[in-house]
């Protein structure tokens, strides 16, 4: 990948299209589109057609502005819509298999909690790792205990050549504790996507590769 890796990953949740429209517009206004990635997290009850059409519309907002667009879990949808890549976790295709499906050029994220898991994901072809939950979160149930900023830092140290993205309960106020990594957020944008995106992008004012 020959672009600087984004440090703010906005994952879709509540009102996905309104949120994406707002955050892409904010990033464009701030001249920060290279700092933003959008990850489409399709609801489990959405059928394939709906997932494809939602992803295609979101990609249509991202691509003209040069905002990276990834799809959570659904490699088929990512490929069909022509997204930039996908993110996989423990219940999804293994990283090496996902890399085979997506091909060598796609961006591939993998969820990890430990330094060893991050090194393994890197060795299997992941582009970046999503690490967490960093803090407690109400957005997803059944998660293990939060690893905290120290747990995130341990992963950052383990894979110095790879972007790390902290996820789970991340807020603008917590950014100073999360050193050397980008962040992925769902809930922090829910109430005020425009204002929150502005605060995150301003705080994360350098691309990830230059923070790390
Ligand atoms: C950047 C980033 N990190 C972690 C996750 C979580 O993915 P996963 O563990 O597969 O859980 P679900 O989101 O699929 O419920 C992510 N999506 N993005
Ligand atoms: C999908 C996922 N995986 C680990 S934490 C999380 C949810 C993150 O959402 P929020 O930013 O609202 O805590
Ligand atoms: Mg998943």
**Closest atom, ligand 1, to C-alpha of 73:** 14
Q: Is 33 annotated as a binding residue?
A: no
ipTM above 0.90, yes or no: yes
b/e sequence 169-199, b meaning 16+ C-beta within 10 Å: bbebeebeebebbbbbbbbbbeeebbebbbb
Give the domain range for residue 32.
8-211
CATH number for the domain harbouring residue 66: 3.20.20.70
For residue 95, CA distances in Å to 57, 124, 132 come to: 27, 6, 17
DSSP structure class, residue 53: H
Question: pTM (2 decimals)?
Answer: 0.96
Q: Is 72 annotated as a binding residue?
A: yes
Ligand 2 center to 46 CA (angstroms): 19
Task: Establish if 72 belongs to a structural domain.
Answer: yes
Ligand 3 center to 186 CA (angstroms): 14
Q: Is 109 annotated as a binding residue?
A: no
- Pocket of ligand 2, candidates 10, 40, 168: which has the most ligand atoms within 8 Å of its Cβ, to mutate? 168
Q: Is 22 annotated as a binding residue?
A: no
Task: Establish if 1 belongs to a structural domain.
Answer: no
For the stretch 106-136, pLDDT in tens is 999 999 999 999 999 999 999 999 999 999 9
Return the percentage of the chain with pLDDT > 70, whole number.
95
> What's the pLDDT score for residue 207?
59
The total of structural domains in the chain comes to 1
Ligand 2 center to 188 CA (angstroms): 10
Task: Establish if 176 belongs to a structural domain.
Answer: yes
Q: Say whether pLDDT at 212 is over 60.
A: no
Asked whether 23 and 38 are in contact (CB, 8 A), the reply is yes
Pocket, ligand 1, Cβ cutoff 6 A? 9, 11, 39, 41, 72-73, 87, 89-90, 92, 109, 111, 130, 140, 165, 167, 184
- pLDDT tier for residue 4 given thresholds of 50, 70 and 90: confident
Pocket, ligand 2, Cβ cutoff 6 A? 132-133, 137, 139-140, 143, 167-170, 185-188
Task: Establish if 52 belongs to a structural domain.
Answer: yes
Averaged confidence pLDDT in the chain: 95
> What's the pLDDT score for residue 205?
84
Task: Establish if 3 belongs to a structural domain.
Answer: no
């Amino acid at each position: 990948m020959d672009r600087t890796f984004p440090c703010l990953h906005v994952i879709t949740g509540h009102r996905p299209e309104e949120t994406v429209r707002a955050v892409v517009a904010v990033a464009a206004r701030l001249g920060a589109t290279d700092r933003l990635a959008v990850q489409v997290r399709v609801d489990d009850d959405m059928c394939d057609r709906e997932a494809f059409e939602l992803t295609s519309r979101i990609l249509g907002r991202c691509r003209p502005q040069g905002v990276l667009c990834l799809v959570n879990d659904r490699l088929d949808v990512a490929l069909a819509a022509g997204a930039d890549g996908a993110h996989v976790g423990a219940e999804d295709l293994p990283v090496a298999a996902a890399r085979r499906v997506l091909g060598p050029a796609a961006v591939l994220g993998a969820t990890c909690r430990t330094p060893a898991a991050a090194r393994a994901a890197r060795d299997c072809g992941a582009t970046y790792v999503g690490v967490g939950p960093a803090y407690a979160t109400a957005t997803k149930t059944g998660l293990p205990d939060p690893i905290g900023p120290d747990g995130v830092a341990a992963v950052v140290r383990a894979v110095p050549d790879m972007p790390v993205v902290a996820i789970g309960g991340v807020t603008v106020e917590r950014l100073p504790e999360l050193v050397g990594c980008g962040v992925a957020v769902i809930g922090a944008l829910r109430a005020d996507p425009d204002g929150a995106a502005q605060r995150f992008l301003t705080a994360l004012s350098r691309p990830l590769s230059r923070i790390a």
